[in-house]
C-alpha cells in the first residue's frame, strides 16, 4: 500500500508515461490503491502528468464511479438501475438505509459501512443486484441479504 508521497511519486513515474491521456488510468490506479482519491495523491498525479491540479480535480469529480471521500471498511452498493429498482432494489435500499440509519450515499458514524446506490451494474437479467465489497449477489431480496450483511454491518 502506497502511503507516503515518495513511494507514490516513484510508482507514478514507473507506471504512467507523462502525457495527459494517462490521467484516467492514473485515477483508476489511485482509486484501487486507496479506495478513494485522496487530495494529496491527486495533487502528485497532476504534478507528474503536467496537468493543473484544478483540472485533475475537475476530471476526477466528473465520474460517478470515483470517490473523493474516504469510504468505510465495507462498501455496500445497491443497484438502482431501472430493472433493479422495479424488481425490489428500492425495498432493499430502503431497508438498508433504515437499518444503518443513513441515507445513501453515506458512511455510518463508526466508519464501518458505506452505503451507495449504483446507477446500473449492467446485470439487469439478475435484478435486483447488491454488491458487498466487490462481490455481487443477483436475484437478491430483503430476506436473502439479511445473512450476508449481519456479519459485516451488524444489522
Partner 1 sequence: MSTATDILSAMREVAHTRMDPMRRDKTRITIQVGHCSQSIGATQIFFSVAEALPANSYLTIAGCNGACYDGPQVLVTNPLGGQRLYTNVTIAGLRDILDEAKGEIPGNSDFMSNQNRVVLQGCGDIEATEIDDYLARGGYEGLAKALSGTPEDVIEEVRQSGLRGRGGAYFPAALKWQGARAINTGPRYLVVNCEEGEPGLFKDRHIMEGLPHRLLEGMLIAAYAAGTSEAYIYINAEAELSASRMEVAVEQAYEQGLLGKDILGSGFDLEVTIMRGAGGYVCGEETTMLNTMEGDRREPRLRPPFPTEAGLWSRPTVINNAETLSSVPIIMQHGAAAFAEVGTDDAKGTKIMSLSGSVRRPGLAEVPMGTT
Radius of gyration of the chain (CA): 18
Within residues 20-79, the interface with partner 1 by CB under 8 A covers: 20-25, 27-28, 49, 51, 55, 58-59, 62-66
- Smallest gap from Cβ 51 to partner 1, in A, equals 6
**Cα-to-chain-centroid distance, residue 23:** 18
Cβ-based nearer residue to partner 1, 1 or 134: 134
Query: Cβ distance 38 to 32 under 8 Å?
Result: no
Lay out the site mask for partner 1 across 99-128 (x = CB under 8 A, - = otherwise): -------------------xxxxxxxxxx-
3-class SS of residue 94: helix
- The span from the CA of 45 to the CA of 103, in Å, is 32
Binding region for partner 1 (CB under 8 A): 20-25, 27-28, 49, 51, 55, 58-59, 62-66, 81-83, 86-87, 118-127, 129, 136-139
Amino acid at each position: 500500500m502506497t502511503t507516503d508521497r515518495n513511494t507514490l511519486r516513484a510508482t507514478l513515474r514507473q507506471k504512467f508515461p507523462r502525457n495527459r491521456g494517462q490521467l484516467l488510468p492514473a485515477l483508476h490506479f489511485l482509486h484501487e490503491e486507496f479506495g478513494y482519491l485522496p487530495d494529496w495523491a491527486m495533487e502528485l498525479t497532476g504534478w507528474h502528468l503536467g496537468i493543473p491540479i484544478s483540472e485533475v480535480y475537475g476530471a476526477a469529480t466528473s465520474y460517478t464511479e470515483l470517490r473523493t471521500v474516504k469510504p468505510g471498511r465495507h462498501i455496500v452498493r445497491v443497484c438502482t438501475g431501472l430493472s433493479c429498482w422495479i424488481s425490489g432494489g428500492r425495498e432493499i435500499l430502503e431497508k438498508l438505509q433504515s437499518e444503518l440509519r443513513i441515507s445513501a450515499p453515506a458512511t455510518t458514524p463508526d466508519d464501518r459501512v458505506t452505503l451507495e446506490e449504483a446507477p446500473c451494474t449492467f446485470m439487469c437479467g439478475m435484478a435486483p443486484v447488491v454488491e458487498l465489497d466487490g462481490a455481487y449477489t443477483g436475484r437478491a431480496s430483503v430476506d436473502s441479504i439479511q445473512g450476508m450483511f449481519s456479519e459485516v454491518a451488524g444489522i
